[in-house]
Structure 1
Amino acid sequence: MSASETARENAQQTLIDAYAKLLTCVRQMHELANAEQWAELIEQRTHYVMSVEALRSRDAETVLDEAARKRKAELLEGILEHDVEIRRRLVARRDELGKLISVSQRQRNLHRAYAPQQGEVAGFDVPSDQEKGLT
């Protein structure tokens, strides 16, 4: 085996290993989403995005043989399946947070609308010192 063939095989294996690491990472992210561990998920997602960016240039430079292309396709399929489920969970969480924000805003608006009136009503209920004849 020539040096160039060895280098090509090493480059292929490095690329496939990088995709396998991405699959492991996205599996962990899926578990975090299912466990509703949102802060950890976001942190993991940051590392995932950086790994994808690093992989992008390596992928463009590496020529794969048929077996490596097939393995890459299998890994990508797994990555995408998990990614779809993570996104589904994130959308559900976003919707849940949106509802909570809406309820909170309505409560705040009600408080703003009725709190001043409650103060005025309380003022009518409590007689002043003058009304009590204490001055």
Structure 2
Amino acid sequence: MTIAPHLLENYQKLLSFSQEMLRLANEGQWSELIQIEISYASTVEALARCTRDNPLSIKSLEQLRPVLRHLLDNEREIKQLLAKRKDELNRLINQSNRQQSLMSTYASNSGLVLVPRDI
């Protein structure tokens, strides 16, 4: 028994979305990645429904193994890129908070003349 053509087509579509998401993540196009991720998630849901009703045979899974491996590899790389982006955003937020705190401190002391004291 071979895999049904519509299932294979959906797995290929999923792989295409995954490759596009990886490309966008590498290019830092985060908004575009989110748009593709919506289609990716929809395709995953469709495949889950389809395979829940008609589980794949061992032979079909063997046929899909290269596609599944590629999907997992892409997902791992995308997660790594997203983790880097998250760290970058956290750094920017922390920097902004420090600047805001500094400006607040400066503003509260503006107009004061600070004179060194004798020790």
Aligning the two structures, in what range does the TM-score lie when normalised by the shorter sequence? 0.7 to 0.9
CA contact (8 A) 1:12 1:62 kept: no
SS of alignment partner, residue 121 of structure 1: coil
| 5+ residue gaps, structure 2 | 114-119
Q: CA deviation at 1:65?
A: 4.8
User: Which deviations, in whole Å up to 9, do the C-alpha atoms of 1:66-123 show, x marking residues without a partner?
Assistant: 54322222211111100100010000000000000000001001111111211x238x
Distance in 2 between the 1:59 and 1:74 partners? Answer: 18
1:49 aligned residue = 41
Q: Tell me which amino acid in the other structure corresponds to 2:11.
A: Y
Task: Indicate the percent of aligned positions where both proteins have the same amino acid.
Answer: 33
When the two structures are aligned, how many residues end up with a matched partner? Answer: 113
2:99 aligned residue = 107
Closer, same or farther: CA 62–72 of 1 in aligned 2, 3 Å: farther
Q: Tell me which amino acid in the other structure corresponds to 1:121.
A: L
After TM superposition, the score normalised by the length of structure 2 is 0.85
Per mean C-alpha deviation after superposition, the further-off stretch among 54-63 and 15-24 is: 54-63
| 5+ residue gaps, structure 1 | 1-7, 123-135
Per mean C-alpha deviation after superposition, the further-off stretch among 89-98 and 55-64 is: 55-64
After TM superposition, the score normalised by the length of structure 1 is 0.75
Distance in 1 between the 2:72 and 2:100 partners? Answer: 41
Distance in 1 between the 2:9 and 2:60 partners? Answer: 11
SS of alignment partner, residue 49 of structure 2: helix
CA RMSD of aligned residues (A): 2.0
User: Which deviations, in whole Å up to 9, do the C-alpha atoms of 1:25-65 show, x marking residues without a partner?
Assistant: 10010000111111101111122112111110101223445
Larger Rg: 1
